[in-house]
Amino acid sequence: MQHDNPPIADYDRLLERKVEKTLHLFSELSLPAPVVFPSAPEGFRMRAEFRVWHEAEDSFYAMFHPDAPRIPVPIHAFPIACAPIQELMPQLMLRIKASPELRRKLFQLEFLSTLAGETLITLVYHRPLDDAWEIQAQQLAAALEVSVIGRSRKRKTVIGSDYVTETLTVDGRPYRYRQYEQAFTQPNALVNTAMLEWASACASTLGGDLLELYCGNGNFTLPLSRHFGAVIATELSKVSTRAAQYNLEDNAIENTHIIRLSAEEVSQALARKREFRRLQVLPKALDTYRLDSVFVDPPRAGLDAATLDMVSRFRNILYISCNPQTLRDNLMGLRDQFDMTRFGLFDQFPYTEHMECGVLLRRR
């Protein structure tokens, strides 16, 4: 659990230990020496989520330790959060405690911020939200200069926007990303930028066209598009697909098409087992693209057997993983056909066991 007093002074030692543990996991594979991308030791999280605990007239941010899930741990400071979140936390709690409408049956708080400081706060309740709550929330949003979302059962009230716009500069070029509330985004913006630059450096050597699976809001799609003739990016989530399409248009990227398909459906389309109307947005037939390369950033479960078989037919595989164990399992299934030519380790989540990895595979 990340807590309010992380061992910041020990960051370098903890990262070294995590790298050693990750490399041991891959010891059976012929991977090159990794390039390691550390995080800032503090102020790195652009998202934060807390329970709100009430005792008599007091309220405070809380987390729970896995070994004692019923005992709240008060959070008085959160140095791993970005500066805007750290600055807002005490101001927000003071205003909540001063407002019965904001405080009553509030049980969870979420922050989403950007490098420029644009912030969205979500308040989650165990009660219906009425006009009195909305008046208080509007005053809160104006006082803190943020957007506020109230959530209760089957209701979402938005004051301001239900998204923030992040700008990440990759290889000297700024990319704007619309990031919706409660949709997945990378939590560590600076390490995410390092991942984007590493992936772009890998992509610059490949050529042809690119198929991307699990594209999310277009996090990798936007900078990768510079390095290919065309990109077909796929994603199943409606919210993420909508964000990705908006981000393409907002960044004036014209060689890329977002298609709402699952990895299984992509496999069926490539094998000509099924036809999908959603593919009709492409300016030409799917089989006329020069899809030499595939980019994957799958969920923690990694690639299932069918998807692994599909990607094994490409000349190049660029693989970003949030789970070294499932990445290892997938690489074991590819090692007889591919050389693993680049390897990156990205510390998205300091003070945890999690390590993001990147591997470039090229067919022998």
Contact call for residues 335 and 30 (beta carbons, < 8 A): yes
Crossing angle, helix 83-98 and helix 131-144, to 10 degrees? Answer: 140
Active site residues: 322, 356
Beta strands in 22-129, from DSSP E residues, in sequence order? 35-37, 47-55, 58-65, 68-75, 106-113, 119-125
In a 3-state reduction of DSSP, which class is residue 73?
strand
Phi/psi zone of residue 74: left (φ > 0), alpha (ψ -120 to 50 degrees), beta?
Answer: beta
Burial label for 260, CB within 10 Å (0-12, 13-18, 19+), is middle
Q: Are strands 35-37 and 338-346 parallel, antiparallel or unpaired?
A: parallel
In a 3-state reduction of DSSP, which class is residue 340?
strand
Closest listed residue to residue 114, CA positions, set 40, 180, 194: 180
